[in-house]
Amino acid sequence: RSTSGAEPESARARGAGAERGEHREGERGAAGIRCVAYNNQSNRLAVSRTDGTVEIYNLSANYFQEKFFPGHESRATEALCWAEGQRLFSAGLNGEIMEYDLQALNIKYAMDAFGGPIWSMAASPSGSQLLVGCEDGSVKLFQITPDKIQFERNFDRQKSRILSLSWHPSGTHIAAGSIDYISVFDVKSGSAVHKMIVDRQYMGVSKRKCIVWGVAFLSDGTIISVDSAGKVQFWDSATGTLVKSHLIANADVQSIAVADQEDSFVVGTAEGTVFHFQLVPVTSNSSEKQWVRTKPFQHHTHDVRTVAHSPTALISGGTDTHLVFRPLMEKVQVKNYDAALRKITFPHRCLISCSKKRQLLLFQFAHHLELWRLGSTVATGKNGDTLPLSKNADHLLHLKTKGPENIICSCISPCGSWIAYSTVSRFFLYRLNYEHDNISLKRVSKMPAFLRSALQILFSEDSTKLFVASNQGALHIVQLSGGSFKHLHAFQPQSGTVEAMCLLAVSPDGNWLAASGTSAGVHVYNVKQLKLHCTVPAYNFPVTAMAIAPNTNNLVIAHSDQQVFEYSIPDKQYTDWSRTVQKQGFHHLWLQRDTPITHISFHPKRPMHILLHDAYMFCIIDKSLPLPNDKTLLYNPFPPTNESDVVRRRTAHAFKISKIYKPLLFMDLLDERTLVAVERPLDDIIAQLPPPIKKKKFGT
């Protein structure tokens, strides 16, 4: 999701003269969620957004977004599904079916289905066949081969577009939802065996068309449909008759997902409500069961375009950009709604980079970059004061990309003279020149093709080297001098793997480069000798952030389960502090945090301090102090009452946590006195979305 910079409003004095530049960040065009697809085998969730971006969340790794495929202007994804175990497919309004390479993080191929825009897609229960529903009323069957998909045949063409599809669990029949009717097909013959007409009645008026947004085919032959008239309906597929109808909304019911056991299903509406239906006995001792609507959940402000049902949770996503996991309380151990409810709003990676020397911030959007110079203050004050800005922030540059591809990653050099960014097909490097208040930009031409599809870009501290992680697993080192570049070396992936490297960290002295992939351990390379130095022992959870400390060259690594490790690169082993932490364990409240650490940095004059943040807290870990145990207060929400209280808190335990800034997208030290924080108020995101459906309130 894109980010941008808006003007800082104030600077606040904190602690020992540290300035706070409050950068309130205005996000333009955050992409809403269009589809979700849950994979039971791997416990992963694929999510597609309205800009064509596809994200993979590992639910077993604390719901971490471990992979993503950048968006594209011409790819409006309307359907997403897993097939044949771990293979992921999408289809959309450009009429193409695509398969994703989950190792190299690129698109394997795109195939035209020749039926116009594709509105729906479903994999067969065995996972070996793929079905798509098209604009021209055709339902097409594809065979999934080891390396591609192959067209098999068309089913009987219908009169209107096929908006929803569902297989019977036996794989013998399918249900297809269109405008005003539902068709049942025999898979073997491809012919329609039933056509059920849906009631157009909507709020007492029967003029408008009724769009069947979703269908679900159950083992007993029941078909559940959801439609634009606000109804959830149950049909008997054997006779083609309506069995029961529930009017649940005054707006479209847009999505449906059924549990594997078929004892529960979830639907999402255009009013932002999610309804849960459960199959319960008619009476306490009866064997006969009926579908009952249980409590509605309102975790979205706008349309719930898509839902999924995992064994333990109801999953929903929609126009408001939120991905919500609502636990089924009878299926989980935690008996606390708030502790267990997850709402993912922000990307699990950093989209902002910083030039400390020139006090610049580079913000990455989907299709452009913005460069801002921070404001400053000459005023002083006591702790907690808000100080007036003597110089406002400057918007220096708006760099727009050409073509339909989203930006994958970007970076500004520490000296502020270079900007690099990558899309799937091209790599761009710009040289910046500053003259008084003017800035000039010169693009470096003839960048090598192998740098494209970079997943991470990083400059050395002295801005003389550029490190590029390609999606094929190679790490490139580029020498920068004047306005030119020279490719120095490429570290190739370990033999037999094409694991994409997603995170990079370089030591301040420029001697060491650490790289982390989506599953393997962290590799550390010697930049001077151009060879692999060591590999940090593999850990079960993905890396979310890492950084190398000055002087000691200790590598600090944060994982998605909230564990933090410190590894000595020169000694090739974990540090004593890290071993002590693992022995004692982190505070239980620290481990329960539900957003990943996305950035780690260090104080140049305080070698015992580690600075890190997630979306909801900023933390300084002081390694010289004892670790808190579970009986200790980890975070004190109340301001200190007097000077002795400040001192007592400062020396109580190693974790100093601030929750002043939130949601926090980026935080770093500019120098030993200045900290920059970029926050993204949720209200601003909601304010930029189209208005939700207006509801008439009783008595108005």
Query: What are the domain boundaries of the chain?
Result: 33-258, 259-346, 530-679
E strands of 483-589, at which residues?
Answer: 484-491, 501-506, 512-517, 522-526, 531-535, 543-548, 554-559, 564-568, 573-574
Q: Does 17 have pLDDT greater than 60?
A: no
What string of H, E and C letters represents the secondary structure of 551-567?
A: CCCEEEEEECCCCEEEE
Q: Would you state the pLDDT for residue 699?
A: 44
Q: Are residues 543 and 585 in contact, defined by beta-carbon separation less than 8 angstroms?
A: no
Q: How confident is the model at residue 21 (pLDDT cuts 50, 70, 90)?
A: very low
Q: Would you state the pLDDT for residue 22?
A: 46
Q: Would you state the pLDDT for residue 675?
A: 87
Which structure tokens are listed for 324? 């919500």
Q: How confident is the model at residue 29 (pLDDT cuts 50, 70, 90)?
A: very low
Q: Does 18 have pLDDT greater than 80?
A: no
Q: How confident is the model at residue 74 (pLDDT cuts 50, 70, 90)?
A: confident
DSSP 343: E
Cα Rg of the chain (Å, integer): 27
Q: How confident is the model at residue 384 (pLDDT cuts 50, 70, 90)?
A: low
Q: What would the DSSP string read from start to end of 347-390? A: -SS--EEEETTTTEEEEE-SSEEEEEE--B------TTPEEPPS
Q: Does 26 have pLDDT greater than 50?
A: no
Q: Which of 11-25, 627-641, 666-680 has the lowest mean pLDDT?
A: 11-25
Half-sphere exposure of 595 (CA within 13 A, CB side): 22
Q: What are the pLDDT digits (tens) for 256-288? A: 999 999 999 999 999 999 999 999 988 888 788
Q: Does 289 have pLDDT greater than 60?
A: yes
Q: Does 380 have pLDDT greater than 70?
A: yes
Q: Span 25-46, mean pLDDT?
A: 82
Q: How confident is the model at residue 538 (pLDDT cuts 50, 70, 90)?
A: confident
Q: How confident is the model at residue 19 (pLDDT cuts 50, 70, 90)?
A: very low
Residue partners of 506: CB distance under 8 A and separation at least 6:
458, 459, 460, 461, 467, 512, 513, 514, 527, 548
Q: What are the pLDDT digits (tens) for 164-214? A: 999 999 999 999 999 999 999 999 999 999 999 998 765 555 657 899 999
Q: How confident is the model at residue 500 (pLDDT cuts 50, 70, 90)?
A: confident
Closest CA relative to residue 111, chosen from 80, 149, 143, 84: 149
- Tell me what percent of the residues of the chain surpass a pLDDT of 90: 66
What string of H, E and C letters represents the secondary structure of 466-496?
A: EEEEECCCCEEEEEEECCEEEEEEEECCCCC
Which structure tokens are listed for 416? 């502020």
Q: Which of 150-159, 333-342, 474-483 has the lowest mean pLDDT?
A: 333-342
Q: Would you state the pLDDT for residue 199?
A: 84
Q: How confident is the model at residue 698 (pLDDT cuts 50, 70, 90)?
A: very low
Q: Does 442 have pLDDT greater than 90?
A: yes
CA distance linking residue 285 with residue 176, whole number of Å: 37
Q: Span 493-515, mean pLDDT?
A: 85
Q: Span 433-462, mean pLDDT?
A: 90
Share the mean pLDDT of the chain: 87
Q: What stretch of H or E contains 579?
A: helix 576-584
CA distance linking residue 450 with residue 457, whole number of Å: 14
Provide CATH code, domain 530-679: 2.130.10.10
Provide CATH code, domain 33-258: 2.130.10.10
Q: Would you state the pLDDT for residue 386?
A: 73
Q: Would you state the pLDDT for residue 498?
A: 67
Q: Are residues 317 and 631 in contact, defined by beta-carbon separation less than 8 angstroms?
A: no
- Starting at the edge strand found earlier in the chain, the sheet holding 106-112 runs 77-83, 87-92, 96-101, 106-112
Q: Would you state the pLDDT for residue 519?
A: 67
Q: What are the pLDDT digits (tens) for 54-71? A: 999 999 999 999 999 999
Q: How confident is the model at residue 521 (pLDDT cuts 50, 70, 90)?
A: confident
Pinpoint the alpha helices (H) of 167-225: none
Q: What are the pLDDT digits (tens) for 641-650? A: 777 777 777 7
Q: Span 243-256, mean pLDDT?
A: 94
Q: What are the pLDDT digits (tens) for 450-468? A: 998 899 999 999 999 999 9
Q: What are the pLDDT digits (tens) for 75-134? A: 889 999 999 879 999 999 999 999 999 988 889 999 999 999 999 999 999 999 999 999
CA distance linking residue 597 with residue 664, whole number of Å: 11
Which structure tokens are listed for 128? 């070996």
Q: Would you state the pLDDT for residue 427?
A: 95
Q: Does 4 have pLDDT greater than 60?
A: no
